[in-house]
Amino acid sequence: MNLTLAHIGPRFPPRDEFEALTAVYLGRCAPFARCRSDAFRSEESFFEWLEKQHGRTPAVAVLLDSRGRSMTSEAFAAWLGARRGDGSQHIVFAIGPASGWSKEGRERAALLLSLGPMTLAHALARLVLAEQVYRAFTILSGHPYHSGH
């Protein structure tokens, strides 16, 4: 499985503390999936790129949006495991532009996911998402990282 953590906005400098921590969690995911991160200048450029992501199956677009579905870590792991189980080759988690995803963009998502009702800075949201993806993989594999509290 391939996993991309994308966002709309400028690239973060490699020495950015949030970027470094995000890279740590994406690195921890390596035994479970090939992970990468990417930045796009606009929603349009993101969706153009997404359309080109074809393998045996189309890429699964998960857009982070405050109006999206909130999940527990266990429910998120179950969702990710189901995508893996149904043969999805590429899951793309994307944090939208500062003004939010357009209606058309939201309609293109396989899942609208909310990290909660609070607004988070892009860098912090990416870090939280990367940690939750790692947590989900550890839950699915029975690793003790997730204690369930």
Q: Which CATH architecture has domain 2-141?
A: 3-Layer(aba) Sandwich (3.40)
Tell whether the model's pLDDT for residue 149 goes beyond 80. Answer: no
The end-to-end CA distance of the chain, in Å, is: 28
Q: pLDDT (tens digit, 9 = 90+) per residue, 6-54?
A: 999 988 887 889 999 999 999 999 999 999 999 999 999 999 999 999 7
What is the predicted pLDDT for the residue at 18?
A: 93
Using 50, 70 and 90 to split pLDDT, how confident is the model at 71? very high
Percent of the chain with pLDDT over 70: 99
**Contact yes or no for 87/56 (Cβ under 8 A):** yes
Residue 86 amino acid letter? D
What are the residues facing 6 on neighbouring strands? 38, 94
Domains of the chain, by residue range, sit at 2-141
What is the predicted pLDDT for the residue at 55?
A: 81
The Cα 72–Cα 26 span in angstroms is 20
Structure tokens at 130: 């990367």
What are the residues facing 91 on neighbouring strands? 3, 60
**What pTM value is reported for the model?**
0.93
